[in-house]
Structure 1
Amino acid sequence: MFRNAYALMLSTAVSAALGLGFWLVAARYYTEEAVGQGSAAIAAMRLLASITATTMIGAVVRYVPRAGRATGPLVVRAYVASTVVVAVASTGFLFTLPLWGASYEPLGGPAAGAVFVLASVAWAVLTLQDGVLTGLRKAIWVPVGNAVFSLGKLLLLAGFAAFTLGVFLSWAAAMVLSILPLGWLIFRRLIPAQAAADRDRPVPRMREIGRFLAGDSVGALFSLAMINLLPVMVAVRFDAAQNGFFYIAYTVGGTMEFMAINMASSLTAHASHSPDRLADGVRGALRRMALLLVPVVVLLIVFARQILAPFGADYAEHGTLVLRLLAAAALPRVAVELYIGVLRVQGRTGVLALLQGAMCTLVLGSAAVLLGTTGIEGAGWAVLVSMCGMALVSAPGLRAALAGRATVRTPRGPRRGPEEYGTSWARDAALARAEEAKGYGTRWTTQTAYLSGGLETGTPALGIPVYVPAGASGSGPGGATATTLYLRAVRPGEPEPDDEPLLTAVLWLLLGLAAGLFWVPLSRAEDARNAVTDHVDGTGLISALPPVSLTAGVLLIVVCSAAVSLYRARPALLSAGLGVTVAALHTAPLILGVQPDRLAGPWHAALTRLLTSVAGLSSPTGVERVLPTALQVLCLALAAVTLIALGAHWRVTAVVVWVLAVAGWAGQAAFAGVAVPVFVGLCLAAGGALLRRVWA
């Protein structure tokens, strides 16, 4: 569904941005040993919590929409079962703590152990809570809750700086900020509303839920082990400082893994509804890989050292190769994940579990060998080599799908009940049509596309299903157009999604949050002012910005990107996002004590004299300092007018103007020498475009 998919993508992007800021602050203000110990505890907590979250969240999202009057009891059972299992597993981990290495020694005390168990339980509940909101079709609250959690842990870092496990404690305490208010919303408002609306709907049987869990959890467990156990292995083998170096690089590189997995998700969502178009879906996913993933991977490989530099010199020195290896591994990972998507569409769950099991075994097994010979880089080499090997194994299946030879299993024999369809995607689709005819719901409740959480997403578990809507325009009556990550499920002329105004309000709040986080810490950054020189370029500004301000910059990019992705244009939001971006870029050097470049080049002298005379100033210096920035802003407005007059789509206009704003700031020294001619040229271009539109 468009709204849920968009909300979850927004949630992931916001959480990733704030998560990056969390580790920037931790790396800047905590010792390397403290970062390593905190990240080790977090990795263990995520691993233990995901034992239940990963295996149960698929069932939660699948059956909550169909539970009717039993929605409340179903959610409570999931919470209780998860709490018991995670608490037992966490306690067992603490009893075997000496076996896990020196990085886990701070968890040995009674108080630290109790906090660890509670945090593991809370992380599992937080994961299931996001799944419940998705199942209730209120995923719009997921980015809100995750933003609160991510911001809370960022701000709590300073408060827990005096504790050995301050990094971990800030993470654990922030979960309460999200769990409690959203828990109240779920149990007091959303569940009663759904139970009342669907009180006559048949309640899913526990046998049906159990069969789904049995088939759905195997592959999820393998994915869980591969992603969450690898940093634990590093923490066991190396000291806390080395573990911190690895975890930061692993966190940044994990964004590529997230992109690869979600390309497979879009394929699954699209082809689950139209299996006969599986080849088109695979080709489309490969095109998106070339357009989206390859440039980002190249950027990470080339500028890995510069990307890690804000964390500190030691992180850049020891983590650069790890980040490059993990980024390079994302390309073969795409082939593997696309084949996984093909297997899901085909309903071949056995082969799917076998493939994921082999991938998990290969990654962890090779890491166990290479970590002892090459250090923390061994984990990166293990992922790269394993993904290349698995890509070769997946290539024949992908080739068959591209050639149109792949088939989708269909149910055989008489249909007596839902349980006879198992967990096959094709069978679910067939059953959905029968349920829809009976009034039991829509295909939204039975077709799934897995959106896997990144390493730093607020939605902690793998495999959060996002369902495909019924009733959208598609082929034939009642057809559905699948929601994907890069293709909208709605078409021009259709009504605006119901939750879009709420999404817009969330983006306004995030924009205000980004502005506050950028300027407030920057205005108090005395150390940064003392560290800058008389000129600040792009890299220099990144190094000089306080970590929280840098985090706000990343969040600002997320908000602007999300605004461009909305169904309808929001001129006020787009303009405000661009305005905050321009203001942030140009005021940051001023706050740090760096003056802008003076206006120069052709025709500047006459303009400077005129404005100096009009303003009644004795010296043109101030005018020469202000004019380059003012002319840049005017040029951006002229570029927007030109594009609109030429009939460019509003998304194209917004993206082009935003890119010009960033590029103009990056090249402000060169622009100051040609500002007046460029401004005059854009005036002529805008005038010509307007005349062309009037005459047309």
Structure 2
Amino acid sequence: MSLSRPETKPRDPDAEHPAERNLRLNTYALIVSNLLTGALGLVFWIAAARLFPAREVGIAAAQINSAVMLSFLSILSIDAIYERFLPVAGTHARSLLKRGFLLVAAVAAVAGSALVVFGPKESLFDSGWTMASYPLLVVVLTVFALLDKATAGLGVARWSAAKNAVHSLAKLIVIVALAWTDEAVTIVAAWGATAAVAAVYLLIALEHRSRSNPQFLGIPYLPSRQQLWSYFQSSFGLTACWAIGNLAVPLIVLTQVGAEANAYFAVAWAIIIALYVTLDLIVSPYVAEVAAHPDKVMSLTWRMIRTLTLVTCVGSISLVVVAPAMLNVVGAQYRDEGQGLLYLAGIFLPLAAVTAVYEGFARLQRRLRLLLAARFVAMLVMVGGSLILTRAVGVSGVGWACLAAESVAATALLGPAVLWIRRAQSGKALVQR
């Protein structure tokens, strides 16, 4: 059933609608935050490379990257539910938040424990203490990540932007202060402990908003349980494809090329992932705002596309021109090993933007099967290609595999994305409750 909420009083046609203003504020805050987070993230790994042995950096990078990817998998697509349905959850918003966070924390603990038991222990962990604390790291990073979509669903994605920026600065300060330890566990602890503090603070703020904001004190407009379950299943499939692919790749580099090569890979990959996250963070508040204000679908859509296009162009140019020079600051070996991956990322980032745009449209319609099929095939290409090509060309093999994967997805989704825009322009109702 399509949503329609007519405005209660005439407005100046040139005036910015509150939904457009909120989208603008949230989007710009997320972009600025992610740029700062990406820059400080690179400085974090530069500091780690300068202050710690390459082997310790490689081990820490593998632990952090694997925990981050497990956190995405542990979220169980609850983040997609929050992004899409919290804006219309009304009085149910508070219970959705509590149940969701408790569920993903439990799943994260199990997932982290499973990797400790069944994963490559010899390559990934250097002590029993790090193995024992690893599940807690996964729990913290899972809650930390879920907050991004929870804030978007509550209309305050800019709060998450502040959280990410503060975390990036805090973990850098900690790693520099504790550099004398000279061990991988220090790098991991600096990342995890600061994330825990930021997450607790923001959870308290979201609890207050869900209890006091008028938007979440009204009647809920949620779909049936069957429809929610269908959306959940497809969203979980998308989350699994993303998490499995990005969990496997660092482990492939670690096992196929070695810990030192993984250190070189981690710095370049951190830059690329920051841009991927930026694309997602631009689309996320768009979905939330259109869900809450479906009568503004076209104005919000064009605003999102313009912003995404600008960020993608700047990001691709930066990957080719700026990022290699930044790697050179870390060390000549880091640039030699990582610049090929960065050049390839400059090519496949626009392809990833096509997929990101279509994902926003698909979530509004609650039709995710085509997106899921494209993402699944792309994940297989990414993992299989990385496994084969890293043996032949090293770290750059991941870039070639990602280029092939993003090409497959963009080819499948570009046509449907254009069709969606044309239908929206013709006035057809495309936003489903």
Whether TM-score is above 0.5 comes out as yes
Contact 1:103–1:239 (CA under 8 A) maintained in structure 2 = no
2:153 maps to 1:131: no
Q: Residue 427 of structure 1 aligns with which residue?
A: 432
Rg (Cα) greater in structure: 1
Matching residue's letter, 1:224: A
> Do residues 60 (structure 1) and 60 (structure 2) align?
no
The corresponding residue for 1:350 is: 369
Contact (CA 8 Å) 1:346, 1:407: kept in 2 or not? Answer: no
Change beyond 3 A, Cα 1:122–1:345: closer
CA distance in 2, matches of 1:67, 1:312: 50
Q: Which moved more, 1:375-384 or 1:339-348?
A: 339-348
- The corresponding residue for 1:117 is 135
Residue 126 and residue 390 in structure 1: after superposition, are their counterparts in 2 closer, same or farther (change >3 A)?
Answer: closer
**Are 1:363 and 2:363 matched, yes or no?**
no
- Structure 1 residue 185 corresponds to structure 2 residue 205: yes
400 and 85 in structure 1: CA distance in 2 versus 1, 3 angstrom threshold: closer
TM-score by length of 2: 0.80
Q: Where do residues 167-186 of structure 1 align in structure 2 (5 Å cutoff)?
A: 167-186=187-206
Q: 1 CA distance for matches of 2:199 and 2:405?
A: 37
State how 1:213-252 maps to structure 2 within 5 Å: 213-252=232-271
Shift of 1:302: 4.2
The 3 A distance-change label for structure 1 pair 260 and 142 is closer
Question: Mapping of 1:201-212 within 5 angstroms?
Answer: 201-202=219-220, 209-212=228-231
Whole-Å separation in 2 of the counterparts to 1:36 and 1:257: 22
Q: Tell me, yes or no, if the aligned pair for 1:336 and 1:390 is still in contact at 8 Å.
A: yes
Structure 1 CA distance, aligned partners of 2:205 and 2:282?
A: 32
Q: Over residues 442-479 of structure 1, what are the superposed CA-to-partner deviations in whole Å (9 max), with x where a residue is unaligned?
A: xxxxxxxxxxxxxxxxxxxxxxxxxxxxxxxxxxxxxx
**In structure 2, which of residues 350, 375, 389 is the aligned counterpart of residue 331 of structure 1?**
350
Q: Which runs of 5+ in 2 are unaligned?
A: 1-21
Q: Please name the residue that 1:83 is paired with.
A: 105
- Give distance in 2, aligned partners of 1:285 and 1:232: 34
Q: Give the match for residue 20 of structure 1.
A: 42
Residue 171 (structure 1) shift: 0.5
Structure 2 equivalent of residue 431 of structure 1? none
Q: Distance in 2 between matches of 1:67 and 1:292?
A: 31
Distance (Å, rounded) in 1 between the aligned partners of 2:162 and 2:361: 33
Following superposition, the deviation at residue 219 of structure 1 comes to 2.2
User: Which residue, out of 142, 151, 162, partners 1:144?
Assistant: 162
RMSD (CA atoms): 3.6
Match of 1:8 in 2: 30
Query: Separation in 1 of the partners of 2:308 and 2:48?
Result: 34
Using the TM superposition, give the Cα deviation of residue 255 of structure 1 relative to its aligned residue in structure 2, in angstroms.
4.0
Match runs of 1:578-597 below 5 Å: none
Q: Which residue of 1 aligns with 2:186?
A: 166
Displacement after TM superposition at 1:135 (Å): 3.2
Work out whether residues 83 and 124 of structure 1, in 8 Å CA contact, stay in contact via their aligned partners in 2.
yes
Amino acid at match of 2:232: L
Query: Using the alignment, how far apart are the partners of 1:363 and 1:236 within structure 2?
Result: 16
Three-state SS of the structure 2 residue aligned to 1:426 is coil
- Are residues 325 and 409 of structure 1, via their aligned partners in 2, closer, same or farther at CA, if it must alter by over 3 Å? same
Aligned residue type for 1:148: V
Deviation at 1:47, TM superposition (A): 1.5
Q: What stretches of structure 1 of length at least 5 have no aligned partner? A: 412-424, 429-696
Question: Which structure has the highest helix share of the two?
Answer: 2
Structure-2 change in CA distance of 1:312 and 1:102 (3 Å): farther
Decide whether aligned partners of structure 1 residues 408 and 259 sit closer, same or farther in structure 2, where only a CA change above 3 A counts: farther
Tell me by how many angstroms 1:202 deviates: 4.8
Partner of 1:43: 65
Equivalence for 1:678: none
2:38·2:270 contact (CA, 8 Å) conserved in 1? no
**How far apart are 1:336 and its partner, in Å?**
3.9
Contact 1:256/1:327 (8 A) holds in 2: no
Identical columns (%): 22
Query: What is residue 154 of structure 1 aligned with on the other side?
Result: 172
2:18 paired residue number: none
Q: Paired residue for 2:118?
A: 96
What one-letter code is carried by the residue in structure 1 that aligns with 2:191? W
Structure 2 distance, partners of 1:62, 1:271, is 9
Check the 8 A contact 1:8/1:143 in 2, yes or no. Answer: yes
Q: Which has the higher contact order (CA 8 A, sep 6+)?
A: 2
